[in-house]
Chain A
């Protein structure tokens, strides 16, 4: 779950990292009065996720109330980085002598938390790393004790700082490492950390993301920021169809419908589990099929869950045929999936033999599944038919040979 800039800055301020004075507003008039209050030059910044906000016209400089109002009016209501802007942050403009970027995150190769820093801030750290790798410094951290400030100090030293600048940077970096750890963040990044002429360090921009897996134990901060449960913060807002899939999944704890994702195509997919579903989706697309959805059915689903997912997929207006494909299953049962899918099709008054283009779920209880499928004249295959071959047959049936 991504945090908006204003939320990330609230967290920073709470932990003693300086941020510019600013106000979150939802209209041009409010933006004007916020600029008035702040005085001097301001920035008006769209509150959307995405790293190219500035380039996309989501950040404007303004001088005075009227100007700030105009800037806000030009941003609010437009679409930036794929999202409609409804709020902007009006902030005092701070002049930087040097811009740093600091990221507290994880290094999956080392399997340790890592601090990444550069004195070429204001840009994406990955880009700095591509262009001038020598200007990117790193320190790994241990999780077997508290965050040790000396690691931050070494990093500050590597960045060429000395005197009080070094000590201040040590403090900011240590805070950032602690924030990352305390709130189960995948990264706590200040991508523009200004060193001002009077020696202050101020976080001009920040990115933070709470790991989905950590949300259950981070209710405190989520509540403090006023984020509701309905606010899923996916890459885009969930569709009605996706919400229905989530409901089906939650109403019956037996088995799991992985993420169900709405697509625009006409080929319905009832596909199995993590890796198998991705592999199947790939195969369908590569063979020219146009999937109507992604949905991974796994974790030993009940007959009823398979039935409801089948009906949901077939409820999409363009879909009149589905394929049922999975990798070799271990705990999921092929026979229960077969029962559920057939039930769903029959309840819609459709012919299973026509509607189910192929059934390829080898593994646990496959012999029983085979008997069921045979009874309803459904085209089924065993493990000797690969996922891609099964997908090929399905695509051929949906779109004609």
Chain B
């Protein structure tokens, strides 16, 4: 059963410079179906729109970002609700308890003047149920214990914890009200690999205990290989391939995905690695047709004219590329 549906989503950054209106097409016609109880990875080039997509999914749309079209739907179990159609008050109710968002660089968001347990209590007080509010102390302690973190962190100030521990505390905080969906943006970027592994283990553990859905964005393919069940590859504001983790790594279809997988260096191997040729596209003025066409070694005439539609080519494996599909996206 899908817990989150994204349909033809378009979100652009709109800026006016010298009186000329310009839009950065960061999310351009994206559709996704995310299942209950899965770890869904989103990968792609720097600046391709990953963080923007997450922001829109959790309903955080502030200027200059604006919603141009499409829909995001959450399956609450009873019916579908959309963050775009909720009042601020209703939205605040589901934030943390239904969907929880861990932004990029979040380990610095913990309040430096408050002990960690206070921060947990604040969240429970603002977003929890009456029942949860009554038991805020026990809930916090049990949660920390269940996640295998030392209880003494609760009595610490953020600066007393290492970056890796702060990051794990942020994850614990995001899941204190057992949300159905957790959305994490680059949760391990800029951490050493040992700490990174600890943080990811924690995320897996949370997912196992609460059977919720985890959406994780990172450009680090090794992280996806280790924890994602399914992966979406994004290029220039669009999803170009979606599939099971194994299929993406062992049988990538889209020429861009192939570059992404093959450019990865390995310890013990000093052979020259080439990066994808050409420059990443501008989202202000993206290339016509398939956005990868100026860099694609397999480019055909149709690629410059039409936009390939994301289409299923194998069970659970979809690609947007004319090598595999004739379907054209309507613009």
Say whether A and B bind each other. no
